[in-house]
Structure 1
Amino acid sequence: MTDTRDAAFEQDRIMRSLPMMSRLCTEHDPEVFRSLLARIGDKWTLLVIGVLGERPHRFTELADVIPSISRRMLTVTLRALERDGLVQREVFAEVPPRVVYDLTALGRSLQTVVLTLGEWVREHQDVIVAQRRTFDERTGATD
């Protein structure tokens, strides 16, 4: 019982020390805040940052290693990440030209968060699948 109370106390202490989302999303420029959350929360962005965190990759390597991403969606995602300063694109003057993508220092600072989120998903995916199944059976809903 003490372990449960200690864990609950620790969780409460952590939650009180974090900034409130309602304040974070209204400070400074709310539109930029929301657009960055949308960018970072995008499934392709999370995967690209996670993969580029391992090492720099060429476009075709990224396309091969990220399941189900279209070449068009990969291009759109990489351009958006480059625009936001999270990814850098290096073109080598070769024939044919070689292009390599890598995380910037800013992108690397996001990598830890992305990997933590990925680990959370891996740890909880079975429970969530079971919850979805229960919900769908109860409501008659489907994906």
Structure 2
Amino acid sequence: MSLAVMALALAAASNAPAPAPASPVDGIWHNPKNSVAVKTGACGDKLCGWVVRADDEAQADARDGGTPRLIGTALLREYRPSGRRKWSGQIFVPDMGRTFGSTLTLVDANTIDVKGCLIGGFLCKTQTWHRG
């Protein structure tokens, strides 16, 4: 009898829907200076990224900008897919204490371009981050 129950359980499991695939930008990313590491992942139905490591200088700059605790801070906020290999959301810049419109572009499996813009896509800065 237990063999039949196992067979039924296995059959039911094989018919279960597969979990949704993770975003190709989920993971840990390092900024160009390797002074900050950000872990990206789901936040509800959006993509976000939180600081998981920061060197002393980055933490001091954040404190000077009004962010007392950099580790755990969400830098990447509410990104949604906005094209092939591209997401749009907001980036928080701790040393300025401000949030800007932003895009993430997946360059390859281990590289993303993070772009932040002041107003309507003007005065932009792009950084290339690498997977850690």
Shared fold by TM > 0.5? no
Relative to the length of structure 1, the TM-score reads 0.24
TM-score (norm 2): 0.26
**Structure ranking higher in strand proportion:** 2
**Greater helix fraction, Structure 1 or Structure 2:** 1
